């Protein structure tokens, strides 16, 4: 634990020393980082989040009890049919999100607000978005606006304008882009506006915008305006990417949070508000389509019934004239009362069966498979009602999806499958309902015939007239039902209840603005202070050579004696002598002086160490064993052969004898050796030494040399001297 604390303390001290040594780089780095952050804030557009919460109003809740019964019946269907139909109906909020996020709906908003045209004020390299406050309005003729979308996706047309206002009027540079190809048109100058520019992509009209006095003041002088016109669908893609629609929580599934990231707060507010308006308009259009289909069905049946009523009236009149009949006689009041009750029931059942046949004719038509089935025409009362409601719901979902996806979409295919699987069940249910009506009608008819037979005085002609009258009453009843339904349909068309409504005011979150100036500047200051330290520390970690005493002590755990500098070498040699004597044992007399490289100062230190020992009365001698050096003749020894190899000389008995003689006649023997990095001579001489002075030279000795010195057992008792 003590070692870890020392290492941690050393790391902090090392960082502090790096800071003191290179502190001038820190203010420079901070200034550069702040300038970069300022440039980033200047050129990067600021975006803000605009959010509105919308409630999805489920109009089907009005018939929730009927729908619940219908769902219960669907769940009882075999082979999982009910589950599959329920699954299609459970598309719910996901389908609404797909509709809101669809390119077609967003495109309607973009076209209505003219967002496919973007204006930017160019100043000092910064392009600021203008919305509703552009001094000039550029409009493209509507036909070519649609043409831009029609050309997609094969060709993306874009119109770029640079409008420069000066003292002489307006200079307009026009450029057309077709995919990546650019076409520059001749520059045009206009003394005043309005003006028109004809291009291959359409006719452009430039007009002055009516700004308030405060807004117009910003454009009194000269300015440069950048205008870009994109295909509405392409521009809608950009808004869709920045738009999100999701429930605020998993528990709330009928509320959506609509959020748009945009450069302009006003544009974001207008977009969210208009998006909900377009969503409601599309929902009302869908509702009206269903009502119009019902109205078409009712009007067709009214025309048919009207013709049938005319035939019944003519038959009634002809029969009475032919039979010369007046009011029929009855036997008894009770018989006539019962007969009248059952006759009324027969009329009611006849009306129901007639309407049932009309609807069966409509449902059995294959062309109406994916069409809405008219509802609330006074027919349903049996098993078919929940299924018809389910069919209309699926058809409505299918039509909404087809506005944003293709026929081959998995979701559309799933709904198609559900409709196709449900259709036979609807026909079967309708057939059962009709059979049920027929059975009830037959029961009533039997009772009616029973009472009718009791009227013995009623002639055959009366029965004929009664039958004709009954048919007239049936058709009149159907006619009245249809008239009532037509009025209900007209009222439904007049009702424009919104499908979605805001539950809170659309507003912007100021904390969501990006980039945040204070945070960016704070990060710049932090990086400006941290970056130099990181670079210095990294360079320090990558250094292979030592420059300071601290680096030397970090590279090895061997004993450190002293630091020697040229400016104060005498005092440094005295410190070396003192520390050396304190580290040597009494029987340690022979000192080997070694270094990794030539020129590390070992000869200078060895000779001055001998002189310093003599000053304090110690007998000391200097032996130059660096026979590789040209100055080796300065050695105190004379060898028999000047041509002998240095390694052979150092390994000879003569050299060993002279070393022993020096050890016997002196208190200390200092032996100078060649560089360890080039020769092994020092290891040959090390057998005579009691200790080793390893000279580490600042800027030359490598950290790896000091690390290997620790594991080198051939050098006795290594002691470190730092030569700066």
Share of the chain above pLDDT 90, in %: 37
Residue 491 within any structural domain of the chain? yes
Within-domain flag for 54:
no
Q: What average pLDDT score do residues 84-90 get? A: 40
Determine the Cα–Cα distance for residues 171 and 212; give it in Å rounded to an integer: 24
Q: What is the pLDDT of residues 665-690, one digit of tens each?
A: 999 999 998 888 788 888 889 899 99
Cβ atoms of 280 and 450 closer than 8 Å: no
Whether residue 475 is found in the same domain as residue 534: no
Cα separations in angstroms, 297 against 263, 308, 355, 459? 51, 17, 12, 41
Domain boundary among 230, 245, 261: 230
Q: Has residue 373 been placed in a domain?
A: yes
Residue with the two structure tokens 């290179």: 22
Q: Pick the residue with more confidence: 584 or 330? A: 584
**Do 482 and 531 fall within a single domain?**
no
pLDDT for residue 81 is more than 50: no
Last residue of a domain, one of 212, 230, 248: 230
Tell me the HSE value of 151 on the side-chain side, using a 13 A CA sphere.
Answer: 18
- Looking at the fold, whether 318 and 464 belong to one and the same domain comes out as yes
Residue 335 in this model has a pLDDT that exceeds 70: no
Pair (619, 711) in one structural domain: yes
Same domain, 526 and 563: no
Do 717 and 647 belong to one domain? yes
Q: What is the pLDDT of residues 230-274, one digit of tens each?
A: 999 999 999 999 999 999 888 888 899 999 999 999 999 999 999
For residue 628, give Cα distances in angstroms to 361, 643, 689.
119, 12, 20
Q: How many domains does the chain have?
A: 4
User: Residue 55 corresponds to which tokens in the numbers above?
Assistant: 């409630």
- pLDDT, tens digit, for every residue of 519-558? 888 998 999 888 887 887 776 677 778 888 888 888 888 9
Residues 193 and 316 in one domain: no
Kindly state the tokens that stand for 600: 């590390």
Asked if residue 326 has pLDDT above 70, the reply is: no
Contacts of 457 (CB under 8 A, 6+ apart): 329, 330, 331
pTM, full prediction: 0.56
CB 458 within 8 A of CB 270: no
Pairing of strands 255-262, 47-56: antiparallel
Helix, strand and coil percent figures for the chain, each rounded to 5: 55, 20, 25
**Same domain as 628, residue 529:** no
Q: What element of type H or E holds 430?
A: helix 410-453
Q: What's the CA gap between 367 and 170, in Å, rounded? A: 60
> Residue 441 domain-assigned?
yes
Residues 200-234 pLDDT 10s: 999 999 999 999 999 999 898 899 999 999 999 99
* DSSP code string of 437-463: HHHHHHHHHHHHHHHHHT-TT--HHHH
Q: Is the pLDDT of residue 495 over 70?
A: no
Tell me the β-bridge partners of 56.
500
* CA 177 – CA 196 distance, rounded (Å): 19
**Please, what is the average pLDDT of the chain?**
82
* CA-based nearest residue to 90, from 116, 122, 67, 62: 67
- In this structure, the answer to whether residues 688 and 594 fall within a common structural domain is yes
Beta strands in 212-251 (DSSP E): 223-229, 243-246
Write out the residue range of the structural domain in which residue 21 sits.
1-44+515-542
Domain match, 335 and 449 both = yes
Examine residue 244 and state whether it is found in any structural domain, yes or no: no
Query: Is the pLDDT at 320 greater than 80, yes or no?
Result: no
Please, which residues have CB within 8 angstroms of residue 359's CB and are 6 or more apart in sequence? 373, 374, 377, 379, 430
Give domain status of residue 108, yes or no. no
Q: From CA 265, how far away is CA 245, in angstroms rounded?
A: 18
* Cβ burial 190-223 (10 Å sphere, 16+ → b, else e): beebebebebebbebebeebeeeeeeeeebeeeb
Pick the closest to residue 350 from 478, 505, 218 (CA basis).
Answer: 478
Last residue of one domain, picked from the residues 204, 230, 256: 230
Are residues 311 and 302 in contact, defined by beta-carbon separation less than 8 angstroms? no
Residues 619 and 526 in one domain: no
Q: Is the pLDDT of residue 618 over 80?
A: yes
CA distances in angstroms from 627 to 636, 646, 683, 697, listed in the order given: 12, 6, 14, 21
Helix (H) or strand (E) holding 668: strand 668-672
Distance CA 374, CA 380 (A): 11
333 band by pLDDT with thresholds 50, 70 and 90: low
In this structure, is residue 9 part of a structural domain? yes
515 preceded by cis ω (within 30°)? yes
Which range among 28-42, 289-303, 478-492, 508-522 has the greatest average pLDDT?
28-42
Question: Looking at the structure, do residues 649 and 556 belong to the same domain, yes or no?
Answer: yes
User: How far apart are alpha carbons 285 and 107 in whole angstroms?
Assistant: 17
Residue 641: pLDDT band (50, 70, 90) is very low
Average pLDDT of 706-718? 83
Give the DSSP letter of residue 186: P
Q: In this predicted structure, which of 42-46, 192-196, 485-489 has the lowest mean pLDDT?
A: 485-489
Is 85 within a domain? Answer: no
Mean pLDDT of 66-79: 43
Residue 644 in this model has a pLDDT that exceeds 70: yes
Give residue 692's pLDDT. 93
Query: Hey, is 511 helix, strand or coil?
Result: strand
């Amino acid at each position: 634990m003590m070692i870890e604390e020392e290492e941690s303390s050393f790391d902090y001290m090392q960082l502090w020393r790096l800071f003191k040594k290179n502190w001038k780089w820190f203010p420079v780095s901070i200034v550069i980082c702040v300038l970069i952050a300022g440039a980033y804030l200047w050129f990067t557009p600021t975006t803000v989040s605009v959010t509105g919460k919308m409630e999805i109003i489920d109009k089907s809740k009005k018939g929730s009890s009927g729908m619940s019964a219908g769902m219960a019946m669907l769940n009882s269907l075999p082979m999982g049919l009910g589950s599959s139909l329920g699954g299609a109906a459970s598309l719910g909020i996901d389908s609404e999100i797909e509709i809101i996020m669809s390119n077609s709906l967003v495109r309607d908003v973009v076209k209505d607000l003219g967002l496919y045209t973007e204006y930017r004020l160019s100043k000092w390299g910064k392009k600021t978005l203008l919305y509703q406050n552009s001094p000039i309005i550029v409009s493209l003729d509507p036909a070519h606006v649609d043409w831009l979308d029609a050309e997609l996706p094969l060709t993306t047309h874009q119109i770029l304008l640079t409008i420069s206002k000066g003292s002489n009027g307006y200079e307009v540079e026009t450029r057309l882009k077709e995919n990546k190809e650019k076409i520059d048109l001749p520059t045009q100058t206009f003394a005043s506006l309005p003006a028109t520019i004809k291009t291959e992509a359409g006719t452009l009209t430039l007009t002055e915008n009516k700004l308030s006095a405060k807004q117009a003041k910003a454009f009194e002088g000269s300015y440069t305006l950048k205008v870009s016109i994109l295909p509405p669908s392409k521009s809608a893609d950009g808004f869709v990417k920045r738009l999100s629609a999701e429930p605020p929580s998993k528990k709330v599934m009928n509320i959506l949070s609509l959020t748009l990231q945009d450069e302009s707060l006003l544009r974001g507010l207008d977009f969210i508000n208009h998006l909900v308006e377009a969503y409601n308009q599309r929902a009302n259009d869908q509702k009206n389509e269903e009502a119009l289909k019902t109205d078409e069905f009712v009007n067709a049946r009214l025309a048919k019934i009207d013709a049938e009523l005319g035939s019944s009236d003519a038959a009634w009149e002809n029969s009475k004239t032919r039979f010369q009949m007046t009011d029929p006689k009855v036997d008894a009041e009770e018989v006539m009362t019962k007969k009248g009750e059952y006759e009324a029931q027969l009329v009611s059942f006849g009306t129901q069966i007639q309407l049932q046949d009309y609807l069966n004719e409509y449902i059995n038509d294959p062309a109406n498979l994916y069409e809405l089935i008219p509802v609330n025409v006074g027919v349903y009362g049996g098993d078919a009602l929940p299924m018809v409601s389910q069919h209309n719901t699926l058809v409505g979902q299918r039509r909404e999806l087809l506005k944003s996806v293709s026929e081959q979409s998995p979701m559309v295919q799933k709904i198609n499958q559900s409709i196709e699987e449900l259709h036979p069940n609807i026909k079967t249910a309708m057939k059962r309902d009709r059979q049920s009506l027929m059975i009830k009608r037959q029961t009533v008819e039997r009772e009616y015939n029973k009472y009718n037979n009791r009227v013995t005085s009623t002639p055959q002609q009366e029965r004929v007239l009664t039958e004709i009258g009954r048919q007239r009453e049936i058709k009149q009843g159907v006619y009245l039902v249809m008239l009532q339904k037509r009025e209900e349909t007209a009222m439904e068309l007049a009702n424009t209840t919104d499908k979605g409504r805001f539950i809170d005011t659309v507003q912007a979150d100021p904390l969501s603005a990006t980039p945040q100036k204070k945070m960016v500047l704070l990060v710049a200051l932090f990086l400006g202070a941290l970056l130099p330290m990181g670079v210095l520390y990294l360079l320090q970690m990558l250094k292979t050579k030592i420059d300071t005493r601290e680096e030397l002590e970090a590279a090895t755990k061997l004993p450190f004696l002293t630091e020697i500098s040229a400016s104060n070498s005498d005092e440094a040699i005295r410190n070396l002598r003192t520390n050396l004597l304190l580290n040597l044992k009494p029987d340690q007399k022979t000192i080997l002086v070694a270094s990794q490289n030539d020129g590390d100062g070992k000869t200078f230190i060895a000779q001055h160490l001998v002189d310093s020992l003599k000053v304090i009365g110690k007998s000391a001698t200097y032996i130059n064993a660096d026979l590789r050096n040209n100055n080796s003749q300065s050695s105190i020894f004379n060898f028999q052969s000047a041509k002998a190899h240095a390694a052979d000389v150092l390994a000879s008995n003569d050299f060993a004898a002279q070393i022993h003689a020096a050890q016997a006649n002196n208190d200390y023997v200092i032996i100078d050796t060649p560089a360890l990095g080039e020769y092994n001579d020092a290891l040959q001489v090390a057998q005579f030494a009691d200790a080793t002075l390893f000279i580490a030279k600042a800027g030359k000795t490598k950290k790896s040399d000091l690390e290997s010195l620790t594991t080198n057992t051939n050098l006795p008792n290594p002691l470190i001297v730092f030569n700066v």
